[in-house]
Structures are given as structure tokens and as C-alpha cells.
Amino acid sequence: MTTPHRSDLTLGLLLSAASGGVDVLALTRLGGAFASVITGNVVVIGVSIGDANLRVLSYAGTAVIAYAIGVMIGHVVLRFRGAALGVEFALVLGLAGLWIATAAHPAGTLQYAALVLAALAMGVQSAAFTLAGIPGVSTTYFTGTLTGLVAGLVTGGGMNRPAASALCALLIGASATGLAVSRAEVYAVLIPFFLVLGALVLSLEKR
């Protein structure tokens, strides 16, 4: 396995932690949908159709559509990682502004707007990180990351340390943001905000 560049690994860890943080914000304050876990959102859509719960359906559906558009932006419109992360930062900045302006409790149209910003950001991030080319590592698709990690262990491929590190970063980002939501909710959004900012600065320094 090719050893990834240290800066690419650091970038992946920052974005993985940011993904965990953004998903916590979405789950706790933005209608209970995921910003990046599309498998989970599709299941929620299925359950909400069965239960005729249009409210839950609208949140999960909005997140899926916004994420898909974010991926399109990342792959089609943007041609290099620095630009993609710049767009992601702008989206997270907008999310932070809405979050703080509504004291961590956006409602109505603002809640949907915040969810759209979060899911768009995660879609752009997913597309941006593919440019790093680290095998078996994603900053949003962690089912695949875990699958590759375990498969490598049982088939003799060895430990994919970048994948294991990304999973740990996801947990740390989610835990830190979850703690902030429970203790200082207005400022919880600053955790993924500064993580994405750090990733952007690192990416620009590499150019």
C-alpha cells in the first residue's frame, strides 16, 4: 500500500472530525436527518413513507438532495481541492451564522436552510477528498472505510492505519460537538467550523 503524504493524512483527519461534528448538529437540531450518512437518510425516508410522516420525510429527503448537489458541485464545477474546500468553508460559515443567529435552535425555513448548508458542505467535502487519493479512506462514507479496514485485517492486507485514524477522528469530532451541544450549544458549531478552516488552510499551503 502506498504511504499517503502526511499533509493528506492530516487533511483527512480534520475533515473526518468535521463530518462527525456536522452530523451531530444535523441530528440534534436540524430535523434529525444526517448531513453525510446517506444510507441512514434513505432508511429514514423508507420508514417515514411507511408511517406517512411527511415531516421526517421532508428533512431526510432534503438532506439527500442537498448532499447529491454538493457532490455534483465538487466534481463538476470545482477542479482542484483548494477551491472545493473553499466552497465547503463558505457553506459551513453560512451554517455557523444561522446556528449562532438562532441561538442553536433554527426553526421553520431557517432549519431547512441550515440542513441544506450542512448537507451541501458534506457533499462538496466528499468530492474534494477523493482528490487526495488515500486508499480505503473517506471523510463521509465510513461504512466503506470500516469495511475496508476489517477486510484488510482478515485477508492479510494488514492494518490500514489512515482508515483507522479517520474513524477515530470521526468519533472525536462527534463526541466533542455532542458535548458542546449539551453544555454550550450556541458555540457547538464552531468545532466543525474551525476544523474545516484548518483543512482549507492546509490545502492552500500545499498548492
Structural domain contains residue 17: yes
Residue 23 has pLDDT above 80, yes or no: yes
Residue written as cell 478552516? 197
For the segment 193-198, the average pLDDT, to the nearest whole number, is 97
The per-residue pLDDT for range 179-192, each reduced to its tens digit, is 999 999 999 999 99
8: enclosing H helix or E strand: helix 6-29
Structural domain contains residue 66: yes
Q: How far apart are the first and last CA of the chain?
A: 25
Residue 118 has what pLDDT? 99
Residue 37 has what pLDDT? 92
Rounded CA-CA distance 104/29 in Å is 7
Structural domain contains residue 1: no
- Domain at 125, CATH number: 1.20.1250
Residue 2 has pLDDT above 60, yes or no: no
Residue 1 has pLDDT above 50, yes or no: no
Structural domain contains residue 119: yes
Rounded CA-CA distance 147/150 in Å is 5
Q: How much is the pTM?
A: 0.90
For residue 103, name the pLDDT band (cuts at 50, 70, 90).
very high
Domain that holds residue 71: 6-206
Residue 96 has pLDDT above 90, yes or no: yes
Structural domain contains residue 22: yes
Split into its structural domains, the chain has a count of 1
The per-residue pLDDT for range 124-170, each reduced to its tens digit, is 998 887 755 555 577 777 877 777 778 778 877 677 788 888 899 99
Alpha carbon 84 to chain centroid, angstroms: 14
Of 78, 72, 85, the closest CA to residue 12 belongs to: 85
Residue 31 has pLDDT above 80, yes or no: yes
Rounded CA-CA distance 160/200 in Å is 25
For the segment 186-203, the average pLDDT, to the nearest whole number, is 96
Can you read off the three cell numbers belonging to residue 14? 480534520
Rounded CA-CA distance 90/79 in Å is 17
Please, which residues have CB within 8 angstroms of residue 59's CB and are 6 or more apart in sequence? 30, 31, 32, 33, 112, 115
Residue 147 has what pLDDT? 74
- Over the Cα atoms of the chain, what is R_g? 17
Of 128, 133, 139, the closest CA to residue 204 belongs to: 128
Whole-number mean pLDDT of the chain? 89
